[in-house]
Amino acid sequence: MPGFAHLHTVSGFSLRYGASHPERLAERASERGMDALALTDRDTLAGTVRFAKACAGSGVRPLFGVNLAVAAEEAAPRERRRTPVRGGAFVDESAPRVTFLARDGARGWADLCRLVTAAHAAGPTPLLPWAGNHGDGLLVLLGPGSDVGRALAAGRPDRAARLLAPWREVHGDALRLEAVWHGRTGTGPGSLRLAARTVGFAAEQGVRPVLSNAVRYADPGQGPVADVLDAARRLVPIDPRAELDSGEAWLKDAQAMLQVAERVVEAAGYRRDTAHRLLEQTRATAAECRVDPEGDLGIGTVHFPEPHLVGAGRRTAQRALASRAAAGMLRLGYGDRRAYWERMHQELDIIGHHGFGSYFLTVAQVVDDVREMGIRVAARGSGAGSLVNHLLGIAHADPVEHGLLMERFLSKERVVLPDIDIDVESARRLEVYRAIIDRFGTERVATVSMPETYRVRHAIRD
């Protein structure tokens, strides 16, 4: 039978929620005969690059998405965050959550990035304002955690229909209703009754249903890990008397998902063979999500600001860089030192070989701007071994005098973009961010984070 494409999968980049690394998910998808897999982490796209590379190595087509909390169409002002009397924090997870998938190449990816930015700009807790809920390059999955899903769980299809209307108005044919069965009883998320209601409601409303397993971990038996993550996220102890993870939110193969589909459609009052139609709708939705990691995301390539933004005018970036470096030679008093000229031309040749001229000009422009603001700035790391960095004013130390090697920083054999690490005063870091955004524009600037990992002993201690 054809492979199943999971449209709703989270990794460990969904902090304190996902229990598997992107690499493990891609590996298991390949082993279980899947030709496509979506990564839809909560509140972030941080795992995208690792996921895309892992899928390329496993022969699985990656789909890209994100799961976000979404404010109501007419949301009331957010109340002050509550805290217990004795301190601590109140973790509010009441906002409905929706999954967005990129379907239209670079435009879909750009829409995802815009949604994540809007969600994080709204406050300390990521929440997508309703006004930011749009994008022609997106597919939208309304699952058990959405406002529509919650209304169905409460046995209110009339309310679900009212809540569905604004979603349909914004997203039209890009809207899907997501059915999930995790073997739970009752009518809540993961229950058979809610999954069946979702499929039936989709037929009544003329919205295409899809089947998902809302994957949190790669393999069966990892439910207890999800319980620990839930307790850490909610800041509560694990209570065996409470509803724990069912152990079903793993990356199931096509045969297992067919069995799920058959149970769901039968519970919805349809014939058993209708399950194949539900799976086909899911595969068709996956087929619409066409985003090329290299061509659309730019993985494996570098993107620099246009030369005119970094002082090159009508010249090429490389020519402007050579001019600035030569001016630096004269400014620093190296004009009559042949060894310096030879070193400078050697480095410029290497930089030109890789096409990195605009990169060096960009860093130099940032350093110049920071200094003009009266903020202390200094380069560190292997970039201090470049004479060109010194001539541009990026690095203070003279690499020739101190015997520092350019090859530790960049050579013709090293094809990766070199790091130029810049330290600024921490108390004025946000001023620097604003200055960079003002100069280059929000469309060319991003903030990045570095995930920290630690061993079992420290994990238990936390």
CATH number of the CATH domain containing 279: 3.20.20.140
Amino acid at 280: E
Radius of gyration of the chain (CA): 26
Domain assignment present for residue 10? The answer is no
pLDDT cut 90: percent of the chain above it: 80
> What is the reported pLDDT for 333?
96
> What is the reported pLDDT for 446?
85
Mean per-residue pLDDT for 338-361? 96
Give, as one character, the DSSP assignment of residue 247: S
Mean per-residue pLDDT for 402-421? 90
Give me the helix-helix angle, 192-205 and 254-267, nearest 10°: 70
Q: Which of 144-153, 237-246, 294-303 has the highest mean pLDDT?
A: 144-153
Place of tokens 């030679």: 329
Task: Give the end-to-end CA distance of the chain in Å, rounded to a whole number.
Answer: 45
Residue span of the structural domain in which 341 resides: 307-444
Confidence of residue 92 (pLDDT cuts 50, 70, 90): confident
Residue 73 shares a structural domain with residue 213: yes
Mean pLDDT of the chain: 93
Q: Are 21 and 12 in contact (CB under 8 A)?
A: yes
Give, as one character, the DSSP assignment of residue 229: H
Q: Within 10 A of 206 (CB to CB), how many other CB atoms are there?
A: 7
pTM: 0.89
Above 80 in pLDDT, residue 462?
A: no
**pLDDT tens-digit profile of 317-335?**
999 999 999 999 999 999 9
Confidence of residue 80 (pLDDT cuts 50, 70, 90): low
Give Cα 298 to chain centroid, integer Å.
14
Domain assignment present for residue 1? The answer is no
CA distance 295 to 310: 25
Residue 313 shares a structural domain with residue 282: no
Above 70 in pLDDT, residue 72?
A: yes
Residue 201 shares a structural domain with residue 335: no
Domain assignment present for residue 87? The answer is yes
Which of 168-172, 185-189, 237-241, 384-388 is predicted least confidently? 237-241
Cα–Cα separations (whole angstroms), residue 10 to 73, 226, 255, 257, 258 = 26, 12, 21, 18, 21
Residue 375 shares a structural domain with residue 279: no
Q: Where are the alpha helices (DSSP H) in 268-420?
A: 274-288, 317-331, 338-354, 357-372, 387-391
Residue 186 shares a structural domain with residue 318: no
CA distance 352 to 359: 11
Q: Within 10 A of 35 (CB to CB), how many other CB atoms are there?
A: 16
Place of tokens 């920290």: 452
Residue 280 shares a structural domain with residue 338: no
Of 254, 288, 322, the residue that ends a domain is 288
Residue 387 shares a structural domain with residue 346: yes
Domain assignment present for residue 454? The answer is no
> What is the reported pLDDT for 127?
97
CA distance 18 to 238: 17
Residue 363 shares a structural domain with residue 280: no
> What is the reported pLDDT for 461?
73
**pLDDT tens-digit profile of 255-279?**
999 999 999 999 999 999 899 999 9
CB neighbour class for 439 (10 Å; exposed up to 12, middle 13-18, buried from 19): middle
Residue 280 shares a structural domain with residue 344: no
Q: Produce one character per residue of 91-118: b if its CB has 16 or more CB atoms within 10 Å, e if not.
A: eeeebbbbbbbbbbeebbbbbbeebbeb
Could you tell me which residues are beta bridge partners of residue 358? none
Mean per-residue pLDDT for 235-253? 91
Confidence of residue 75 (pLDDT cuts 50, 70, 90): low
Mean per-residue pLDDT for 184-212? 97
Give the DSSP H/E element, type plus range, for residue 84: none
CB neighbour class for 292 (10 Å; exposed up to 12, middle 13-18, buried from 19): middle
Of 288, 321, 350, the residue that ends a domain is 288
> What is the reported pLDDT for 459?
67
Above 80 in pLDDT, residue 65?
A: yes
- What's the domain count of the chain? 2
